[in-house]
Amino acid sequence: MASLVCNTVIGMKNRSTVPDKRETLPVPQAVLFDAYGTLFDVYSVALAAEQLFPGHGQALSLLWRDKQIEYTRLVTTSNHGAHYRPFWELTRAALVFAIKKIAITPVITGPEATFDQNFGAAVERLMNQYRSLSAFPENREVLSELQRRGIPTGILSNGDPAMLELAVKSAGLDGLLSHIISVDPIRKYKTHPEAYALGEQATGLPAGRIAFVSCNAWDALAATWYGYQTLWVNRYQQPFEELGTQPTRTGNSLRAVLDFFPSQPLNEV
């Protein structure tokens, strides 16, 4: 019994003296944010979807997002990217699929299925809603605080340049981002390594000196694999990906990005 207690105490002591991996990392010199799901709430379309398709709004918004991401992976990995389409087009295609799958019944069934005339109007209304997604409430204050501390910030996103420009403007984030980086010029979506390399190219910094922030676990994982210091914003209290790698940090809101800069007071935000 004494030996067991002794070993337990020694084990506890050893664990307490092992340095936190995060403490050995350099303080980041820039912060890059994912856009959709991280700065902009992709599920804020659920209310409009519910108005158009009563009883299906929440499910529609979830399937729309899942299919959108599935399409980005499909066009990136198939035939060396020969089937690439801009993010706006993939977003529309994913919406049409989601509506057809769970929200409406075709007027005519079969391979040549057709839908009533309200179908197109519903698609346009929801796509317009997607242009100006709701921003998470802490965005502006966190970005303003990073700017006050002299830390360059940016977006690294699958979104088209025009989509991102409008989303940033609609959210009132003009002037708070040093870089708005779209994967569109390389025609490869995250999680392709060339997509993450755009952050290094834009900032002139190696990935290890950049904090990458995402609410999407798959994105945070791939960015960690690429070499970024990462923050997973776990807004919805979900488990992280079970592939043997953890993000550098985890938080419940964007405010957790300030933990990368311990020399600065955190109570100002």
Cα–Cα distance between 235 and 215 in angstroms, integer? 7
Q: Which residues are catalytic?
A: 34
Strand partners, 180: 155
CATH superfamily of 25-41+134-259: HAD superfamily/HAD-like (3.40.50.1000)
Highest mean pLDDT among 42-46, 80-84, 104-108, 181-185 belongs to 181-185
Cα–Cα distance between 10 and 2 in angstroms, integer? 12
Q: Write out pLDDT tens, residues 135-159.
A: 999 999 999 999 999 999 999 999 9
Torsion angle defined by CA atoms of residues 163, 165, 170 and 174, in that order, rounded to the nearest 10 degrees? 160
Q: Write out pLDDT tens, residues 213-254.
A: 999 999 999 999 999 999 999 999 999 999 999 999 999 999
Q: Domain locations in the chain?
A: 25-41+134-259, 42-131
- DSSP string across the chain: -HHHHHHHHHHHHHHHHSPPGGGGSPPPSEEEE--BTTTB-GGGGHHHHHHHSTT-HHHHHHHHHHHHHHHHHHHHHSGGGTT---HHHHHHHHHHHHHHHHT---SB-STT-B--THHHHHHHHHHHHHHTPPBPTTHHHHHHHHHHTT--EEEEESS-HHHHHHHHHHTT-TTS-SEEEESGGGT--TTSHHHHHHHHHHHTS-GGGEEEEES-HHHHHHHHHHT-EEEEE-TT--PPPSSS---SEEESSGGGGGGG-TTS-STT-
pLDDT (0 to 100) of residue 202: 97
Q: Write out pLDDT tens, residues 73-130.
A: 999 999 998 999 999 999 999 999 999 998 776 444 445 445 555 788 899 999 999 9
Burial of 173 (0-12, 13-18, 19+ CB in 10 A): buried
Q: What is the mean pLDDT of the chain?
A: 87
| Length of the chain in terms of residues written | 269
Q: Is the pLDDT higher at 174 or at 16?
A: 174
Torsion angle defined by CA atoms of residues 203, 204, 210 and 213, in that order, rounded to the nearest 10 degrees? 30
Has domain 42-131 been given CATH number 1.10.150.240? yes
